[in-house]
Structure 1
Amino acid sequence: MSAMRGIKVLELSENVSGEYCGKLLSDFGAEVIKLERPGIGSPTRQLGPFSEKGDDNERSGLFAYLNTNKRSVALDVTTAAGSVALQKLLSHVDVVIDDHASGWLKRIGLDPETLDENWPKLVLCSITSFGQSPPEDRLHAEDLTVFQASGLGYHTPSGSPDDMPPLKGAGRFLTSYEAGLDAALCISASLYEREVSQRGRFIDISKQQVLASRLDYVLGQMVAGDMDVSTNRTQFDLFGPAGIFRCRDGFAYIWMSAPSHWDGLRKLLGDPEWMNTFPERWLERECTPERVKLCRQYIAEWLATQEKEKVAAEAQKLGLILVAVNNAEDLKASPQYAFRKFFAEVNHPVLGATLHPTVPYKLSATPALITMSAPLLGQHTSLLGEQP
């Protein structure tokens, strides 16, 4: 049995955040009906990577990943007929997921303010960039905008030159994936609480707040008053020799902040003479920019001669935080990922057999399973005729 078996979800989402939330629920067994615009479908169908097979609406690898185990119903909820059909669907679902801008739900007749009056047992989750009441200039925002507004831009990368602009962070949709994950967790908790209260609830997910919650102890110290509040990016720099370094076959990341890390590095490098010129506990007490620069120089010279996976395994045995920076091919070939069965083969009617990432956690009794590929546009529209 899957963890979410018996839960019915209506997905109004048209962006990565809401679709990822729906995917997490559907892969754990929830029945997810995805409403799509007739003829054109969800905008994510037009986002790559693309396959050379199929028409424009069925070529997106991103859509195929985000929508496994779902059913596609073509319905324009902004029309009179669509509104009537939507009201009927709402009577048969436990959860609604939406990721349009604030105000859209009210316009289609699903007002969060009157949710308890009209749909007392419904769990309604809205994912927006800045919550339900943003300033006008923040009503519509891309992931990059939200990422920078959260403060994470100061960390990309940590310790970068002050005269260089902040980077965008990992991947294209980090903001949306993190928000989708939080939304799925909140929905699960709300469904659990509903077992006792018999009441639904409105869940307001702000992408900006989600990413702000991911900031490390620096923000916590500012809030607690232990560190000056500042927009200076150097506030987030830990002033150590951490960084990404080139290896013979790619890159590796190393982190050092404690005497045990310094001891591990010494053993890994074979007790080189240059390390004796540094004070024993310099990482904690005398971490000057000059020493950091010199340490990075020696590390870079040595790692350039090493293979990333091999040196990472050796370093970790010595208590040194050093990991390989993996690309997609590395992950596919990873023995650990193979052992955990992280990738699953999914047969799509247009794209064919493809490998999909699954979830990075396992529930022994109620595992996540991909039992059905992403739907074709409108493949299950006949479900509308089945509603009483």
Structure 2
Amino acid sequence: MSALRGTKVLELAEGVAGEYCGKLLADFGAEVIKLERPGSGSPTRALGPFAAQGDDPERSGLFAFLNTNKYSVTVDLASDDGRETLRQLLGKVDAVIDDHAVDWLCEVGLDPERLEQDWPRLVVASITPFGSTLPEDRTYAQDLNVFHSSGWGYHTPSAPDASKPPLNAAGRFLPSYESGMEAALCIAASLYEQDDSGLGRFIDISMQQVLTARCDYVVAQMVAGEMAVGPERTAYDLAGPAGIFRCRDGYAYIWMSTPQHWDGLRQLLDDNAWMDEFPPNWLERGCTPERVALCRKHVAAWLLTQDKHEVAAQAQKLGLTLVAVNNGRDLQESPQYQHRGFFAEVEHPVQGKALYPTVPYRLSETPACIERPAPLLGEHSDEQLGALADASSGGAA
């Protein structure tokens, strides 16, 4: 039994945020019908990485990941027939996912301000870069713009060189994934409410607000008035020796901010002689640029002789926050991930077999499950639209 079995969702989204939202719901058992453009399909079908085999538009690994367990129906929403099909589908579903630009829903006949009158039971989630009410100069943005406008750019990297620009986060679509998850949670909560009230709601997701909410405590301190708000990126720099260091077989990240961390490092390095120059509480009361530089110099030289996973395990036993920087192979071979069954083998009809990430949480009685690969373009058009035709003519659905 799946947590959302019996729930029907219409996915109008054509971006990573909305498609990831739909994937999360579909993997928990919701019936997610994805409307796609005839011929080309969703724009995410044109985004890599691409499988070595197969023909477009079925080679996108990104689309394959984002659309497991869904049904693909091709509909031309620019045509009168397409709009009528959309209207019929809206009468059959519990929720709608969209991530187009502001006002797009109005263009296809789904005005958020008229939902209560036209579709009182419908839950509609709209995911946009800055929400549905925004200045005109922010009507178009990509994940990169959202990332930096949310505050995250102020500490990428965490010890910034003020002469260089901020960096982007790891991965192309961090704002989209976070916003998609936020939307999925809001939809699930609204569906729970819908069961009692019989009413839907319009969920206005601002990707900027979502990512700001995920930001460090520094933003909270700024909001609370405990830290000055300004353009200086050094506000995020805690001036300690934290950072990413090269190891013999890759990289490791160290975080140190307390005397306990320093004690752990001393044990890890067998109380090397250079450490005698540092007072026990220097990370809290004597964190000078000279000490930080000296600490980093010695730590960097020592880690060059270490294997990242072995040193991480040793450090964590000593209470030192040191972790390996994992690549894709590391994650696949991780004993913890294998024990948790985090990766699932999925066979796509065109791309073949591959390991797909699942979710980092588990519902004991109703776990998420990838039962079907992402659909081929228009794979379920006849089935889904045929059922609509039967229903409208009074036949069996």
TM-score where L is the length of structure 1:
0.99
Residue equivalent to 1:182: 182
The superposition leaves residues 20-55 of structure 1 with CA deviations (integer Å, 9 ceiling, x where unpaired) of: 000000000000000000000000000000112121
Q: How far has the Cα of 1:78 moved from its partner?
A: 2.1
Residue equivalent to 2:272: 272
Residue equivalent to 1:223: 223
Question: How far apart in 1 are the matches of 2:160 and 2:249?
Answer: 24
Q: Which runs of 5+ in 2 are unaligned?
A: 392-397
Residue equivalent to 1:315: 315
Question: How far apart in 1 are the matches of 2:215 and 2:369?
Answer: 31
Residue equivalent to 2:240: 240
Residue equivalent to 1:304: 304
Residue equivalent to 2:173: 173
Q: How far has the Cα of 1:96 moved from its partner?
A: 0.2
Amino acid across the alignment from 2:229: V
The answer as to 2:188 corresponding to 1:191 is: no
Residue equivalent to 1:289: 289
Matches within 5 A, 1:31-110: 31-110=31-110
Matches within 5 A, 1:108-187: 108-187=108-187
Residue equivalent to 2:387: 386
- Give secondary structure in 2 for the equivalent of 1:45: helix
Amino acid across the alignment from 1:385: G
The superposition leaves residues 215-268 of structure 1 with CA deviations (integer Å, 9 ceiling, x where unpaired) of: 111111111111111110001111111000000000000000111101100111
Q: How far has the Cα of 1:320 moved from its partner?
A: 0.4
Stretch moving more, 15-24 or 208-217? 208-217
The count of residues paired between Structure 1 and Structure 2 equals 388
- Give secondary structure in 2 for the equivalent of 1:379: coil
Question: How far apart in 2 are the matches of 1:157 and 1:178?
Answer: 20
Question: How far apart in 2 are the matches of 1:215 and 1:345?
Answer: 33
Question: How far apart in 2 are the matches of 1:78 and 1:24?
Answer: 28
Question: How far apart in 2 are the matches of 1:371 and 1:351?
Answer: 16
The superposition leaves residues 75-126 of structure 1 with CA deviations (integer Å, 9 ceiling, x where unpaired) of: 0112111000000000000010000001000110000111111111110000
State, as a whole percentage, how many aligned pairs show the same letter: 66
- Give secondary structure in 2 for the equivalent of 1:105: helix
Question: How far apart in 2 are the matches of 1:147 and 1:367?
Answer: 31
The answer as to 2:186 corresponding to 1:212 is: no
The superposition leaves residues 189-239 of structure 1 with CA deviations (integer Å, 9 ceiling, x where unpaired) of: 111112222210000001111111111111111111111111100011111
- Give secondary structure in 1 for the equivalent of 2:57: helix
Residue equivalent to 1:345: 345
Q: How far has the Cα of 1:140 moved from its partner?
A: 1.1
Question: How far apart in 1 are the matches of 2:35 and 2:301?
Answer: 55
Residue equivalent to 1:260: 260
- Give secondary structure in 2 for the equivalent of 1:372: coil
Residue equivalent to 2:26: 26
Residue equivalent to 2:394: none
Residue equivalent to 2:395: none
Q: How far has the Cα of 1:360 moved from its partner?
A: 0.7
Question: How far apart in 1 are the matches of 2:155 and 2:229?
Answer: 15
Over 2 Å off, 4+ runs: none
Q: Which runs of 5+ in 1 are unaligned?
A: none
The superposition leaves residues 135-154 of structure 1 with CA deviations (integer Å, 9 ceiling, x where unpaired) of: 22211111001111111011
TM-score where L is the length of structure 2:
0.97
Q: How far has the Cα of 1:159 moved from its partner?
A: 1.1
Question: How far apart in 2 are the matches of 1:164 and 1:47?
Answer: 30
